[in-house]
Amino acid sequence: MAGKKKRRGIGLLPKLLMGVFIPIVIVFFILWVLIFHSFDLGGSRFTSIKDIGAESLRELSAVSMKEAKSSLNKLGEKIIREKAIDVATQVKIYLQARPKLKKEDFNKDLDFTRVAVQKVGLTGYTALYELPDTEGVWRTWAHVNPKIIAIDMSTLREPLGKNFPGFWKVYTGVQGGGASSGYYTWQDADGTFRDKYMVCTPVSGTPYIIASTTYLDEFSKPVRGIEGRMKWIERGYLDAYEIKIQLFYFVMLVALVFLLMMVYFYSRSVIRPIRYLSEVADRISMGDLDTPIQIKAKGEVGLLAESIERMQTSVKAAIERLQKKR
């Protein structure tokens, strides 16, 4: 028995370190995945906290832009409608004062064009056209573009192409006697197509109509500025998250090192007396019964020291009794 080798294995200190370190690493890893990574699991999509924040910010931006654009469009529609009514009233007064003015001369009369063709917003204008004649032809008599004066407006079908029906629906919507309004796409003089909103209001007591129109991008221009600002905020959010990621790594590393040091020093304070008692037990087993047991620890370690001390005293007393019998 004396020559039997001692059993070796992983010591108590490594076990304590692994028992504390591994769970901490697992917890930090799970937090890291949940915060910074999205992944698919069993057909389900798990979105990271970072992506949830970015997506929420994008949704908030989209909703805000939509509401802002809708509000500005409604405001623009109101301005265009009021302009059409105002110009129609002015045209009526002007024509009543000049009953001999012929429609073929409307666009040549500078005073009349100042009344019938007015600026709407920044890019829009008003124009005057007539209900269809006996041949069913719609003609415009006052417009910023002199090329369309007195032409059959239905001939715009070819240059406007697929955009013609939208324009024609609003343009001819006054045939029943009421006003009409709506969105359509118009071709500029440079050949580009842009979306517009138009309100057509009859000039009461006459066969004429005032069309008030302007471009949609005039309404949405402030929204584009806000949208750019929201994108800047989103980029700032993502940049801030990158900084937080680096800070997270640093804090995690410091926390792990600190915890390991705490566990290490605490474990040593527990294991040192156990190792000492193990050495004392070895000496006692070798016959050194006078080895002092200097342990001041309390708790289980203290109880173990007392047990070894009692064992030492009992063995010593047993040997003394045997020696007396001899």
What pLDDT, in 10s, does the model give residues 178-192? 899 999 887 776 777
| Higher local confidence (pLDDT), 215 or 16 | 215
The arithmetic mean of pLDDT across residues 253-274, rounded, is 73
Domain assignment present for 183: yes
Domain end point (choices 220, 237, 270): 220
Question: Is 282:73 a contact under the CB 8 Å cutoff?
Answer: no
The arithmetic mean of pLDDT across residues 320-325, rounded, is 79
The arithmetic mean of pLDDT across residues 67-89, rounded, is 85
What's the CATH code of the domain at 137? 3.30.450.20
Res. 2: pLDDT tops 50: no
Distances (CA, A) of 52 to 57, 58, 85, 244: 8, 10, 49, 15
Domain end point (choices 192, 220, 248): 220
In this structure, the answer to whether residues 301 and 176 fall within a common structural domain is no
Question: Is 297:305 a contact under the CB 8 Å cutoff?
Answer: yes
Collect all residues with Cβ–Cβ distance below 8 Å to 109 and sequence separation of at least 6: 101
In this structure, the answer to whether residues 295 and 164 fall within a common structural domain is no
Res. 78: pLDDT tops 80: yes
In this structure, the answer to whether residues 126 and 215 fall within a common structural domain is yes
Question: Is 64:226 a contact under the CB 8 Å cutoff?
Answer: yes
Domain assignment present for 136: yes
d(CA 128, CA 203): 9
Q: What is the pLDDT of residue 5?
A: 47
Nearest 5°: the CA angle 75, 76, 78 is 65
Domain assignment present for 157: yes
Domain end point (choices 179, 203, 220): 220
Query: In the chain, how many domains are there?
Result: 2
What tokens were used for 8?
Answer: 């070796």
The arithmetic mean of pLDDT across residues 145-173, rounded, is 91
pLDDT confidence of 167, banded at 50, 70, 90? very high
Q: What is the pLDDT of residue 64?
A: 62
**How do residues 272-287 score in pLDDT, each as one tens digit?**
777 777 887 887 777 7
d(CA 182, CA 37): 47
- Residue 196's φ and ψ, nearest 5 degrees, are -135, 165
In this structure, the answer to whether residues 102 and 200 fall within a common structural domain is yes
- The boundaries of the domain holding residue 93 are 80-220
Average pLDDT in the chain: 78
Domain assignment present for 26: no
In this structure, the answer to whether residues 84 and 216 fall within a common structural domain is yes
